Structure 1
């Protein structure tokens, strides 16, 4: 009986490893685009935690750069099997989200990139009405364009991510909203070429803005999503796994932004679905009250 059980286990292991599960993800828009480095590292860690249950996996980049709208068109086809996008009612109907906020909601905490000489002007802003008199820059495909517009802001849209920084310096809009987990790297990468670019020092904006992994709403997409769901929960529920990864990418950044010293302005996000896990505190991180475990 022991021999039969061992043989069965070997057969099962061979079956699991015969066809590794393929996760093909979108590549950065440029060499300076590191917005998703943490997310893909998180995906790799989640997949590693599920090898015993699901077998081998293959994690590889797509062969070409795609805008977000193009990614959704390609999702589930030969070019792309997984993508990252914010929570959105319509996309969650058309595609299959794993409703776990990948950065525990921190991308919804926003600081502003501005032209350095305008800091005194921003320091005099004490309420949302004053801030609404200024224009915000966003990418044309970005889902939170509608969040800003719905909250009464004029949004100037750019056709590509890198070009938005130059648009800001050229005066095409007044500020560029960036998350607290993105902005430090973005500024550091451009400091030499764009010395007039600066992180505004007095304002913090928050709106609930979870980013999810999305898959095609197919049988194959469901299998890929199920594995990621299991793996992410293993990582999120184990500080030994989650904390080193999170701190490697984000830990020092939060301390450097002096969040406690800023005016906090809250925006509404009317585009979240009823399934958004806002009531599960284990999935969210309050940057004013770390650590999360």
Structure 2
């Protein structure tokens, strides 16, 4: 039965193993997901070639373009129930939960702004800036934190400089960036909530979903997933110095129940990050 199902999936791709198949994804952003996509596609018997599609302005636009004639085939982003209704998620977190750690970016004159913060309720007096189409925005609002939303054309660093916001809770991957001598990554805390970044495909694209899922499992099993992950993120994990930060936990009511939270092989061990 499984062999018959897989045969049907191959036929539905209309290419068969000898014909290269283009897999389209949105250009820009961090290089890791695109390289991971290339890696897991290489695990398939079908020859698939990733292809960047430029000029997609937002994540909400990208997910709506899944499966469209002039759209894309694969999208990645932090999951939510809304997005899992719009598209079919491959339920293996490609960030291993690391995107759930946020390091506030602040003006240097406010470098000790969070020096006395030990729990989430103490964040309520501050104004956080988050982009309107990021799932994180809804998470901060659900935790009753004052959140100023901005659009894709805004300049959040300038909003920070002008005092319109107190902090930008950027993800841990932002740490290596230099936003200017007057803008720093706050040294005292890290904000954390359960989060998973998935690959998504169109709801009716069962074939690509299976190939991505199988490719991820194969990469995890042979160690190539970890090799690629730590190639990109070992340095930033060390730079975050989480053992010397207070971890401020937020709840994430948007994390769907489908998240494989009881499968530890898919996640970084939180305790190991803070040793």
Output the TM-score relative to the length of structure 1.
Answer: 0.83
User: Could you say which structure has the higher helix fraction?
Assistant: 1
Map 1:269-280 onto structure 2 (within 5 A): 269-280=252-263
Change (3 A) 1:173 1:107: same
The 5 Å alignment of 1:65-76 reads: 65-76=56-67
SS at match of 2:200: strand
Question: 5+ residue gaps in structure 1?
Answer: 1-13, 29-33
CA RMSD in angstroms comes to: 1.7
1:232 pairs with 2:224? no
Q: Does 1:260 align with 2:243?
A: yes
Q: In structure 2, what is the Cα distance between the partners aligned to 1:161 and 1:99?
A: 31
Using the size of structure 2 for normalisation, the TM-score is: 0.88
Distance verdict in 2 for CA 1:64–1:104, change over 3 Å: same
Residue 208 in structure 1 maps to residue 191 in structure 2: no
Name the SS for the 1:236 alignment partner.
helix
**Long gaps (5+) in structure 2:** 1-14
Matched, 1:44 2:44: no
- 1:22 maps to 2:22: yes
CA distance in 2, matches of 1:233, 1:15: 22
Residue of 60, 67, 92 corresponding to 2:51? 60
Q: Give 1:138 deviation, angstroms.
A: 0.5
Within 5 A, what are the aligned runs for 1:1-293?
15-18=16-19, 20-28=20-28, 34=29, 36-50=30-44, 52=45, 55-77=46-68, 78-160=70-152, 163-180=155-172, 182-185=173-176, 187-188=177-178, 190=179, 194-218=180-204, 221-239=205-223, 241-289=224-272
Secondary structure of the corresponding residue to residue 93 of structure 2: coil
Q: Distance in 2 between matches of 1:171 and 1:27?
A: 32
